[in-house]
Structure 1
Amino acid sequence: MNDQIVDTAKDVIVASDLVKTFPGRRPLTAVDSISLSVHTGKLTALVGPDGAGKTTVIRMVAGLLAPSSGSLSVLGIDVVEKPQEVQDRISYMPQRFGLYEDLSVMENMTLYADLHGVPEAYRRSNFKRLLAMTDMDRFTARPAGKLSGGMKQKLGLACTLVRSPELLLLDEPSVGVDPLSRRDLWRIIEQLVAEDSLSVLVSTSYLDEAERCDQVLIMHEGRILAQGHPEKLRKRAEGYACSVQPPQGMRARDVQARLLEDSEHIADAVPRGDAVRFIRMPGADQNRFDLPGGAAVMSRKAELEDAFMLILRKTQQEKAPLAEASVQQGSTSALAAQASRNEPVIMVRDLVRKFGDFTAVDSTNFSVQHGEIFGLLGPNGAGKTTTFRMLCGLLPATSGYLEVAGVNLRTARAKARGRIGYVSQKFALYGNLSVRDNLEFFGGAYGLYGKRLQQRIAVSLEQFSLDGHAQSGELPGGYKQRLAMASALLHEPEILFLDEPTSGIDPLARRSFWYTIGGLADHGTTIIVTTHFMEEAEYCDRIVIQDAGKTVALGTPAEVRAQAGEGSNQDMNSAFISIVEAKRSAAAAQPAGGAA
């Protein structure tokens, strides 16, 4: 392959038998003998579970990691021999792009232009275009630290493009941003491909994003399982995709759980709109899936995500089936008794939080019942994170009434904290400690010790299928999340707060996570969750959508979808965008000083 003449008019990246092994006590082969080609002027996606090797591939293409063996040509250049020559002609946006938060939007762009030696004449015209493309021309003087998550991602992309690269590498560019910002990011990427014939290689956890691409490569455990046009891959699931309407009185997540118990015949199941969509394994009879109430199973058109899940299920030798991740709490009698009470476990009335002259949360009202899964949704900067932190007792309210687990958080925040569990988006596990050591540390922080602590650790290790001797820092992303959940549940809290718990993890791990959450709620734990995956709102009993600090929708997923109007009621992502944009349009049309 080394003496092959690369046709750069066709292939911008060519890899053959590419291997990357990281040395250590237990050497890790992150990329295992893969061969691939990425076409010039096209949009190519890398998808796969956590630890599949996507980021390692991108970093090798960028010349930041040297392959252990094999060949890799980028823009017709051997990247191993001439990494700097490659880096001079490409742009790379990693998962955590290095913005300078104390510098303004324009100062960040100017700094990156200076670093890349962009000529003054070119940068003037390019800055103007990039600012218009990202809709940030009104915010050039705003410090990057004052931008919402979505705006930071758009600024990062603009800084990446201050010069005109021949190849753009994007590693999970839309992780942690809301559907509106995600839509805007992809409009920019597609515009660059269409207008500039830019070659783009992107890794993503969103299969609907991969469907926009010309080519998709599905990776697992360092290997490429399948590659091709999204339509070609989608057809692999054609004939296996089904849906079922939950019988009267049965929740969608209960139907999903029942289907997933049949792991031999079901590849995947997920609530979507008013139905549960699932994929049967090849050879499984469609008529075998009888549910209470005589719910009829119907065939449907397959999507790329269906093919992705089917390919993984057929290939992966499961180390821990989904059913093993469900939580059957050992001491749930008290929680079950609490769940039978009619009074809410959380009450929010006229809640306000101000930061100086800025009102982050403006007179929010809602309540949450025992054993309910309640979702806090909203665009970046909408006020949901501020609301979430007030509910956890991490941030005091400016005014209003806030009661959690029978405790007034305005007067007794410390007392309430002992009755809640909390998993932050970036949970602070100690990577150099074992799983058991982490559990002992967090158990002690919650006031557990001695025999009681050891009993709870034993239960948690079994419930979450964790190896107590495993090194925490070496766990795959999905297992790190299980450990975070186990740590938060050691003291058997009445309420569990989850802040963006599935951000950056793949669909396979997300399914397992929500299966676990459903089991917790069924055993009486109240769940408060924030998420940017709108399809995950379908798992919630009720959701609230906030924007600009105000509540714009509240109700069951079906009620919120109905509020969005005809055409959006089968798709929560579309419903979310429709509701937020309608409220913003109404606010913009309101005369100054008028009622919202």
Structure 2
Amino acid sequence: MPAPATEPGTAPFVRLTGVTKRFGTARPALDAVAGEIFGGRVTGLVGPDGAGKTTLIRLMTGLMLPDAGTIEVLGYDTRRDPASIQAAIGYMPQRFGLYEDLSVQENLDLYADLRGLPKTERSRTFGELLDFTDLARFTTRLAGKLSGGMKQKLGLACALLRKPRLLLLDEPGVGVDPISRRDLWKMVGNLRTEGIGVVWSTAYLEEAEACDHVFLLNQGSLMFSGPPAEMTGRVEDRVFRLSGIRGRRREALARFLEDEGVVDGVIQGEAIRLVMKAGLSPPPLGDTADAVDAAVTPPRFEDAFVDMLGGGPGGRSRLAETQREFTEDAGRPVIEARGLTKRFGDFTAADNITFDIPRGEIFGLLGPNGAGKSTTFKMLCGLLKPSAGEGRVAGFDLRRNAPEARNRLGYMAQKFSLYGDLSVIQNFNFFAGVYGLSGARKRERIGLMSEIFDFRTILDMSAKDLPLGLKQRLALACSVLHEPEVLFLDEPTSGVDPITRREFWTHINGLVEKGVTVLVTTHFMDEAEYCDRISLIYRGRSIALGSPDDMKARVAGKDLPDPTMEDAFIALIQGSEAKEAA
């Protein structure tokens, strides 16, 4: 839906002039950022973790002041009149800023008091917001018991208690499933038609395409300002979809990425997507090459961003090159779920989940927040005891032989799972001990991980002080320290920049080629395309099982002739709901 046209001469809601902010002596968090934000449209602050998005939003609220430059919000200078700004805006912080031990209604009551909402207006306002966010059924539920998407909707409701002229949303879509993200965007679209200015901060580059105007930040610098289509237009006719892949598509992708003309490449189901340098065609095609056909495909915002950064990390994984190969029992499943069920009181979180994962396969667990995928994931890596059913890893029954099974697997949790108060080297030493490494073998593996993941100069730094991308690298390095044959990855790339995401998947793809078996959860639908097969879990049950292309084919039709993975995700869940309602 296009944004309402801005009237000629309309004053901007926000004016940024040479905004610079430093923390300590490091490079600036923001470096001379300038631009204007108007009402009646969604302006995206887009960029990876550490780009400066949160800093810029906090400066707009007047909660912090710039070291240089000026910020005017709704006509007020943030230095001279922050109170007037704070009275006129709505602000939803990045971290869930509500009270988890209060109910939905109690949070609304508290924020109404804080915002000074007259008691005579509360009943009508609460009713409108609960209807708007579809939370009316959950007013007595504790906020801490809400799913990720519902928490974000409650945060949005609290930010809208007194309808603001400008709404600042700091990464509202992080960790939220595609259905909840789409719901949030629909809500924000409705606000935009009322003339409210919306600033939406995000690390998800596909969300940039839904904005009317984008500020693209990287390491504190403003790299691009304009409509997203202007950015994607920079790689028009340079993006190709290669089909008819010969042999294993991960091997083919690795070879393509070593070609000098290839800027970036990702797996897309059974196909491969390549971004080429200007004026160049894809590598040789035909019956004797890696792929048979190449068709120009529409560019994405992320394609243009990776191109702007100089391209991806290439197709070589030093981690995979040092990994021992697993070839035994090639025909037998390495991970088995047989009727896995988990009940918490009278609530069934996972119900009769069944699948096999053979050696050297990437298997994805997808589903909305609260669907049961994390419960299934935790049962299969021995962190949660099933109420019924059986799980096996590398031939070991998780009920009877959980310690033996855990020694065969590496686990990377959704939230940074290492010890923040320990240094990088102390984390390595601790996990080496957990996995039974000692002596020369321990020193060899720690030295190798330090070199591959570039930790040699920061081994004494506390893990909590690392940027998110380096934290995730450290978590991955610790999970593969003992050369496991099975990897459990719970949203491994959430919030990291596109280049680090590419690096992670280069390592994962390379490990799989060595026979490592991977179970992964993700909210990035383009990452789901890397999976050989997917189980889509909804309301505790597996409602679809198959390859990404199978999933897309199931929902293709007149209304969706060429569905994306996100389209398939949403359509399959809506189909399941319709069946239950019938």
| TM-score scaled by length of structure 1 | 0.91
Distance 1:209 1:329 in 2: 35
What is the match of residue 592 of structure 1? none
SS where residue 365 of structure 1 aligns? strand
Closer, same or farther in 2 for the Cα pair 1:216/1:326, shift >3 Å?
farther
The one-letter code of the counterpart of 1:579 is: L
What is the match of residue 227 of structure 1? 225
The one-letter code of the counterpart of 1:538 is: E
Matches within 5 A, 1:76-155: 76-155=75-154
Asked if structure 2 preserves the Cα contact closer than 8 Å seen for 1:8 and 1:76, the reply is no
Mean Cα displacement is larger for which, 219-228 or 204-213?
204-213
Asked if structure 2 preserves the Cα contact closer than 8 Å seen for 1:20 and 1:69, the reply is yes
The one-letter code of the counterpart of 1:209 is: E
Partner of residue 479 from structure 1, selected from 470, 474, 486: 470
Partner of residue 277 from structure 1, selected from 270, 273, 276: 273
Matches within 5 A, 1:407-422: 407-422=396-411
Asked if structure 2 preserves the Cα contact closer than 8 Å seen for 1:561 and 1:568, the reply is no
SS where residue 88 of structure 1 aligns? helix
SS where residue 91 of structure 1 aligns? strand
What is the match of residue 521 of structure 1? 512
SS where residue 498 of structure 1 aligns? strand
What is the match of residue 238 of structure 2? 240
Asked if structure 1 preserves the Cα contact closer than 8 Å seen for 2:432 and 2:481, the reply is yes
Q: Give 5+ residue unaligned stretches, structure 1.
A: 1-6, 590-596
SS where residue 29 of structure 1 aligns? coil
Asked if structure 2 preserves the Cα contact closer than 8 Å seen for 1:325 and 1:465, the reply is no
Structure 1 residue 169: deviation in Å?
0.8
Q: How many residues align?
A: 569
Q: Deviations for 1:131-170, whole angstroms, at most 9, x for unmatched residues?
A: 1111112222222222221111111111111111121111
Distance 1:18 1:302 in 2: 32
Asked if structure 2 preserves the Cα contact closer than 8 Å seen for 1:568 and 1:575, the reply is no
Distance 1:418 1:362 in 2: 27
Closer, same or farther in 2 for the Cα pair 1:397/1:431, shift >3 Å?
closer
Partner of residue 445 from structure 2, selected from 446, 456, 477: 456
Structure 1 position 327 matched with structure 2 position 319 = yes
Partner of residue 545 from structure 2, selected from 546, 554, 559: 554
Structure 1 residue 228: deviation in Å?
0.4
Distance 1:72 1:185 in 2: 28
The one-letter code of the counterpart of 1:272 is: Q
Identity of aligned residues (%): 47
Structure 1 position 489 matched with structure 2 position 480 = yes
Structure 1 residue 381: deviation in Å?
1.1
SS where residue 95 of structure 1 aligns? coil
What is the match of residue 215 of structure 2? 217
SS where residue 85 of structure 2 aligns? helix
Structure 1 residue 524: deviation in Å?
1.6
Structure 1 residue 79: deviation in Å?
0.5
Q: Deviations for 1:263-311, whole angstroms, at most 9, x for unmatched residues?
A: x42222223354322211224x215454725523322332323222222
Structure 1 position 337 matched with structure 2 position 334 = no
Distance 1:126 1:239 in 2: 49
| TM-score scaled by length of structure 2 | 0.93
Partner of residue 510 from structure 1, selected from 496, 501, 504: 501
Partner of residue 306 from structure 1, selected from 296, 303, 306: 303
Mean Cα displacement is larger for which, 509-518 or 467-476?
467-476
Structure 1 residue 479: deviation in Å?
2.2
Structure 1 residue 199: deviation in Å?
0.5
Structure 1 position 445 matched with structure 2 position 444 = no
Mean Cα displacement is larger for which, 137-146 or 472-481?
472-481
What is the match of residue 572 of structure 2? 579
What is the match of residue 4 of structure 2? none
What is the match of residue 201 of structure 2? 203
Asked if structure 2 preserves the Cα contact closer than 8 Å seen for 1:286 and 1:297, the reply is no
Distance 1:168 1:467 in 2: 43
Asked if structure 1 preserves the Cα contact closer than 8 Å seen for 2:320 and 2:507, the reply is no
Structure 1 residue 474: deviation in Å?
4.1
Distance 1:216 1:468 in 2: 36
Distance 1:466 1:371 in 2: 28
Asked if structure 2 preserves the Cα contact closer than 8 Å seen for 1:8 and 1:40, the reply is no
Closer, same or farther in 2 for the Cα pair 1:568/1:111, shift >3 Å?
farther
The one-letter code of the counterpart of 2:384 is: L
Distance 1:226 1:272 in 2: 27
The one-letter code of the counterpart of 1:102 is: D
What is the match of residue 181 of structure 2? 182
Q: Give 5+ residue unaligned stretches, structure 2.
A: 1-7
Q: Deviations for 1:160-215, whole angstroms, at most 9, x for unmatched residues?
A: 11111121111110111111111101100111111x21111111122332112110
Distance 1:383 1:502 in 2: 20
Mean Cα displacement is larger for which, 270-279 or 153-162?
270-279
Closer, same or farther in 2 for the Cα pair 1:275/1:212, shift >3 Å?
same
SS where residue 286 of structure 1 aligns? coil
Asked if structure 2 preserves the Cα contact closer than 8 Å seen for 1:246 and 1:255, the reply is no
The one-letter code of the counterpart of 2:13 is: V
Distance 1:152 1:254 in 2: 41
Distance 1:162 1:9 in 2: 26
What is the match of residue 22 of structure 2? 21
Closer, same or farther in 2 for the Cα pair 1:56/1:300, shift >3 Å?
same
Mean Cα displacement is larger for which, 167-176 or 204-213?
204-213
Distance 2:282 2:576 in 1: 45
Structure 1 residue 473: deviation in Å?
3.7
Closer, same or farther in 2 for the Cα pair 1:467/1:94, shift >3 Å?
farther
Matches within 5 A, 1:54-65: 54-65=53-64
Q: Deviations for 1:385-435, whole angstroms, at most 9, x for unmatched residues?
A: 100010110110001121111111122222211111111111233445443
